[in-house]
Structure 1
């Protein structure tokens, strides 16, 4: 099962909004995933396949990350844009040769 973490500064506002949008996308794509949201300061305590966040927090997450860890951080320009989330999750999965049931 895919593990996705949505990250923002306080772990309540934008990360929760990202989570809600990502859940809708995952349901549409029929991707089984465990998805949660948290603060930037707690993000590294979670084991995840994908981290969805904005650029400022991605820079913090990637500061001490290995090249492989950096690949899991997906930067969203429009935090609740389902089209952008879908596009970037599909690209992430395609890059890793993962199969997705329902996509164009």
Structure 2
């Protein structure tokens, strides 16, 4: 199954808040994607297709092999998060795949 990993410094409040916005985005588009959240230290050991977090958190992560990352400048505004997701290559691919299945 496809997976998005949401990362923050401690893996608690911030990543959970972002996760809720991302899960809403996924549900509204009827995508079959699992969303998990984690702290920075654990993120390097979790397999994911897309990694999202605050810009300063993403810049501190070890480079993942061919995994797209989104560094958010605003982790609170849902519309901003949705815009970033819609502009991401991974999400675009998933939306095209979904359309192809219709």
TM-score between the two structures when normalised by the length of structure 2: 0.81
Q: Which structure has the higher relative contact order (CA within 8 Å, separation 6+)?
A: 1
Which runs of no fewer than 5 residues in structure 1 stay unpaired?
none
Aligned ranges 1:47-58 → 2 under 5 Å:
47-58=47-58
Matched, 1:2 2:2: yes
Aligned ranges 1:1-104 → 2 under 5 Å:
1-61=1-61, 64-65=62-63, 68-69=66-67, 72-92=68-88, 93-94=91-92, 96=93, 98-99=95-96
Which runs of no fewer than 5 residues in structure 2 stay unpaired?
none
3-state secondary structure, aligned to 1:41? helix
After superposing on structure 2, the runs of 4+ consecutive aligned residues of structure 1 that deviate more than 4 Å are none
TM-score between the two structures when normalised by the length of structure 1: 0.79
Residue 98 of structure 1 and its aligned partner are, at CA, apart by 4.5
